Amino acid sequence: MSPVSEMLCRRRLASAESAAAHTLADLRPGQRATITCYGSEVEASTSRRLFDLGLVPGTEVQMVRRAPLGDPAIFRVGDYEIALRRSQSAGIHVETIR
Amino acid sequence: MTDGCHGGSGPTTTADSGLTRFALVGSPNSGKTTLFNALTGLHAKTGNYPGVTVSKFEGRTRLDGGRSVLVEDLPGTYSLDPISPDEQIVVDILDASGDADRPDAMLVLLNATTLRRSLGLLAQVAQTGLPICVVVTFADDLARRNGRLDMAAFSRALGVPVVAVAAGQRDGVAELRRLMAGHRSWSRPVVPPPTDAAEVPAWADSVLSASDYQLPEADERTRRIDAVLLHPVLGTIVFLLVMFTFFQTIFTVAAPLQDYVETFFGWLGELVAEHVHLGWLSAFLSEAVIGGIGGVLVFVPQIVLLFVLIAVLEGTGYLARAAFLMDRVMARAGLEGRAFVALLSSYACAIPGIMATRSLPSARDRLATMMGAPLMTCSARLPVYILLVSLLFAGEARIGPFNARGVVMFALYFFGAVAAMLAAAVFKKFTSRGGPMLPFYMEMPPYQVPRLKSVVAEVWTAAAAFLRKVTTIILATTVVLWVLLNLPLRDDATVAAAGVDTTDNSAVSAYVLNNSYAASIGRAMEPVFEPLGFDWRINIGVLSSLAARETFVATLGQVAAAEDPEDPGAALAAMRVDDRPLFDVPTITALLVFFMFALQCMSTVGVLRRETGTWRWPLIAFSYMFVLAWTMAFIARTVVSAFG
């Protein structure tokens, strides 16, 4: 492993201590929410990647649409759109914006 | 000049290792490939990274003052915290201190419309200590969507040179070349950007606000198109229509082009036969060499069309939507939507398809997709299918309102895909034993009008790769087979002694073929294939198709030409075994089904060996597909025979 990736691998990200009221997976199309933290069940490498993808705590996310077959769903994160499966979106805790 | 440490270059040329190396670094959808093509044109070399087999794209570009430099297009990545082999490559190259192949400088591409996220990657690559020039792409898109970025302020805030390039405009690329010429004097940030999770967002915010950055609005055009293309009903209909049109185009548009190629090689063969008077040499050149090359080149129009369509689907952004729509279906096979892209590429050829599995972050997904990919109907199966289906149905035959040949073709493509999915699902089940789940995510890029230059470059690379394969493996196989089919040489006395009329050319040809080395091999294989209705002549074709499936057609052409050189197609139809036509309906069906499932392609075996790093998987793939092919062909033959 290279020094840079070793350093990046040591990054610690906030994870929830208790079950969340809401996750990204609960959002309906058009609904907005702010990311609070990652679920404690989420692998550390996964949460680091979600972070690098811009799914950063404090960021506003909008659910855009679900695939016709029910999964995955497209989310608008700041300036771009990303498709996530329920297995990932359910690990991202949010506070919905009314 | 420090030259010659890597062999192969003469004293008059500079070894590549002596040139300044620039690495293109960026996330997927950052416009990396477009910039790479703009810098290097069609002179890019494709190869592989040592050890792993991630494709390596490298090319030269000439800077102001005539100096040549190397540009390397690194695989797209979102992070230097790698979770896939592609990403590992980027880390290894950028962070390998003391390596001769380490780039001298980086061109880091930041998509102006996804700038906030892209800054995170920039912060990470800055840790490698290599000089950085930031290339802002899609600045025209940013302006169209009412976003804003002050390039000069952005450059000051980052502390590195910044240049904006826009699709189709030369100014940006010219400016970039000027900057590249002076890479030794690029400014560096006074304080390197942070990578700590707590500091990165604040750093990105401060850079963006210092650069007067205005977030682009959601792309209205993309939103409207998505409303249709991702609509539960409309989107599904469009998806099926797109895929159906895909294949209809390949068959209807390619046909006249193929006729031209066929006519040309027919003329060339006659020309050679006319001017070369030494009997066996004339036959060797016109039948084995020219016939072999022509018999494969005839499919280049189809391959080019296929890659044009794939490049256009990719360039517009529809391929990501197709992956989004298909993800749930692929998930059934334990795969993900992006495996759909690898499987779709396998429609062209299993080799790029298998190589496309590298974009899958999960090693298990990659393996499962690779085991299924060779079952997709690759373009090499096309000539075989076309020949067999044309024997099965007359050109004007119809099933309902559709052309019968077209319907059978569609069915072959469809069931090939189903078989590939099932195989992948089975392998995914067998290989999944614990291990962490890798996350699934996929960026949905805004729709774009595909760039002509990118499409041309992509098609060129694909066609060139196919042609390289033709001139090596397929031509060699055709030549070896011609030798097997025509040797040992018989003089007239031997032929006459066997009771054959030496003035009857086709009788002599038949005698030579019946007593050739190939005939012995074909006869030895008969016990294996007899239950499928194949005789030794078909066996020769099946054996030869191991080198590449399309060789089957060339070989059958030779077998037929040996009997009636005037009209090989009719000759095939007229070939008889015992008292029935050799190519009767049950046998053609069995052959079609056999080719649908069998791994009759040594190039695929080679790529599997390279990609998995062991002989185990290609051996497993070859064996399971042979057993599957034989069994399914036997069942198909039995069923078709029963219904007469």
Q: A71-86, pLDDT tens digit by residue?
A: 899 999 988 899 999 9
pLDDT at B161 over 80: yes
pLDDT at B86 over 60: yes
H helices, E strands: number in chain B:
30, 12
Cβ of A87 within 8 Å of Cβ of B437? The answer is yes
Where is pLDDT greater, at B291 or B425?
B425
Distance from CA of A37 to the nearest CA of B (A): 12
- Per-residue pLDDT at B287 exceeds 60: yes
B4 falls in which pLDDT band (50, 70, 90)? Answer: very low
Q: In this model, does residue A63 exceed pLDDT 90?
A: yes
Q: Do A4 and B328 touch (CB under 8 A)?
A: no
**What mean pLDDT, rounded, does chain B reach?**
80
pLDDT computed for residue B11 by the predictor: 36
For B91-134, write each residue's pLDDT tens digit: 888 887 666 678 999 999 999 999 989 999 999 999 988 999 99
Residue A25's domain is classified under what CATH number? 2.30.30.90
Q: Could you tell me whether strands B441-443 and B576-577 are parallel, antiparallel, or unpaired per DSSP bridges?
A: unpaired
**B197: closest CA of chain A, how far (Å):** 6
Residues 228-287 of B with CB under 8 A from A: 230-233, 235-236
Size of interface A-B (CB pairs under 8 A): 148
* B50 confidence band (pLDDT: 50, 70, 90): low
Residue B136: predicted pLDDT: 94
Mean pLDDT value of segment A54-65: 92
The C-alpha atoms of residue B73 and residue B594 are separated, in whole angstroms, by 40
In this predicted structure, what is the pLDDT of residue B400?
Answer: 76
How distant is the Cα of A73 from the closest Cα of chain B, in angstroms? 8
Residues of B in contact with A73 (CB under 8 A): none
Are residues A69 and B120, on separate chains, in Cβ contact within 8 Å? no
What is the pLDDT at residue B582?
74
B114 — contact with chain A (CB < 8 Å)? yes
Query: In the numeric block, which tokens belong to residue B187?
Result: 């400014």
B193 versus B380: the higher-pLDDT residue is: B193
pLDDT at B551 over 80: no
Backbone angles phi, psi at A76, to 5 degrees: -100, 115
State the smallest CA–CA distance between residue B226 and chain A in angstroms: 10
Domain count, chain A: 1
Contacts of A69 in chain B (CB under 8 A): 325, 327-329
Considering Cα of B31, then B33, then B34, then B36, what sign does the dihedral take?
positive
Look-up: residue for tokens 């749930």? B328
Tens digit of each residue's pLDDT (9 = 90 or more) over B197-237: 888 889 999 999 999 998 888 888 899 999 999 998 999 99
CA distances in angstroms from B454 to B38, B83, B124, B386, B482, listed in the order given: 9, 28, 29, 31, 40
User: Is the pLDDT assigned to residue B2 strictly greater than 60?
Assistant: no
Contact assignment for B331 to A9 by CB distance below 8 Å: no
pLDDT of residue B8: 36
Q: In chain A, which residues have their Cβ closer than 8 Å to the Cβ of B127? A: 4, 7
Indicate whether B1 pLDDT > 50: no
Q: Which two tokens stand for residue B425?
A: 């699902």
Say if CB B549 and CB B388 are below 8 A apart: no
Q: What is the mean pLDDT of residues B300-313?
A: 79
Q: For B400-436, what is each residue's pLDDT tens digit?
A: 777 778 888 888 988 998 999 999 989 888 876 655 5
| pLDDT value, residue B16 | 55
Q: Judge whether B360 and B84 are in contact, CB under 8 Å.
A: yes
Binned at pLDDT 50, 70 and 90, residue B6 comes out as very low
Q: Which residue has the higher pLDDT, B8 or B538?
A: B538
Q: Which domains does chain B have, with CATH numbers?
A: 16-217 (3.40.50.300), 234-431 (no CATH), 472-643 (no CATH)
C-alpha distances (whole Å) from B581 to each of B17, B149, B342, B572 are 62, 74, 40, 9
Confidence of residue B570 (pLDDT cuts 50, 70, 90): low
The partner residue sitting opposite B328, judged by closest CB among A54, A67, A74, is A67
pLDDT score, position A72? 92
What residues of chain A, 51 to 90, have a C-beta less than 8 Å from chain B? 51-54, 56, 58-59, 64-65, 67-72, 74, 76-85, 87-88
* pLDDT-above-90 percentage for chain B: 20
CB < 8 Å to B235, chain A: 68
- CB of B218 within 8 Å of a chain A CB? The answer is yes
Q: Is the pLDDT of residue B514 over 80?
A: no
CB contact under 8 A, B195 and A79: no
* B81 contacts on A by Cβ (under 8 Å): 5, 8-9, 11, 45, 48-49, 52
Check A67 against B230: CB less than 8 A apart. Answer: yes
Question: Residue B320's pLDDT is what?
Answer: 86
Q: Which of B83, B124, B216 sits opposite A45 (nearest CB)?
A: B83
- CB–CB of A49 and B81 under 8 A? yes
Report the gap between the CA of B543 and the closest CA in chain A (Å): 44
- Structural domain boundaries enclosing A71: 3-97
Query: Higher-confidence residue: B607 or B72?
Result: B72
Are B205 and A63 a contacting pair, CB within 8 Å?
Answer: no
pLDDT over 70 percentage in chain B: 81
The mean pLDDT of chain A is: 87
Split at pLDDT 50, 70, 90, the class of B49 is low
Grouping H, G, I as helix, E, B as strand and the rest as coil, residue B39 is helix
The string of pLDDT tens digits covering residues B441-486 is 888 988 988 888 778 887 887 677 667 655 666 677 667 777 877 7
Are B105 and B186 within 8 A, CB to CB? yes
Nearest to A82 among B83, B331, B442 (CB): B442
- Residue pair B219/B58 in contact (Cβ under 8 Å)? The answer is no
Quote the pLDDT of residue B135: 95
Mean predicted confidence (pLDDT) in B381-388: 83
Cβ within 8 Å, pair A43-B114: no
**Higher per-residue confidence, B173 vs B397:** B173
Angle between helices B337-345 and B404-431 (to 10 degrees): 130
Contact between A4 and B114 using a beta-carbon 8 Å cutoff: no
In this complex, do A88 and B96 lie within 8 Å of one another by their Cβ atoms?
Answer: no
Q: Which of B164-168, B188-192, B443-447 has the lowest mean pLDDT?
A: B164-168
Q: Does residue B184 have a pLDDT over 80?
A: yes
Partner-chain residue, chosen from B117, B236, B325, that has the shortest CB–CB distance to A54: B117
- Residue B24, phi then psi, degrees to nearest 5: -90, 120
Mean local confidence (pLDDT), B80-84 = 83
The reported pLDDT for the residue numbered A35 is: 93
Residue B573 confidence (pLDDT) above 80: no
Nearest partner of B602 among B480, B519, B419, B428, judged by Cα: B480
Q: Cβ contacts (< 8 Å) between A85 and chain B: which residues?
A: 327, 331, 336, 440
Q: Identify which of B138, B82, B128, B85 has the alpha carbon closest to the alpha carbon of residue B105.
A: B128
- CA–CA distance, B438 with B364 (Å, rounded to integer): 10
Mean pLDDT of the B13-33 span: 78
pLDDT at residue B468 in the model: 66
Mind telling me how many Å the CA of A97 is from chain B's nearest CA?
Answer: 19
ipTM, 2 decimals?
Answer: 0.92
The 10s digit of each residue's pLDDT in B237-275 is: 999 888 778 766 766 777 788 788 878 888 888 888 888
Of B296-300, B534-538, B613-617, least confident by mean pLDDT is B296-300
What is the per-residue pLDDT for B590?
A: 93
Asked if A97 reaches chain B (Cβ–Cβ under 8 Å), the answer is no
The whole model's pTM is what? Answer: 0.76
Closest CA to A16 of A42, A33, A38, A47: A38
Chain A segment 4-33 residues within 8 A of B by beta carbon are 4-5, 7-9, 11-13
B82 CB within 8 Å of a chain A CB: yes
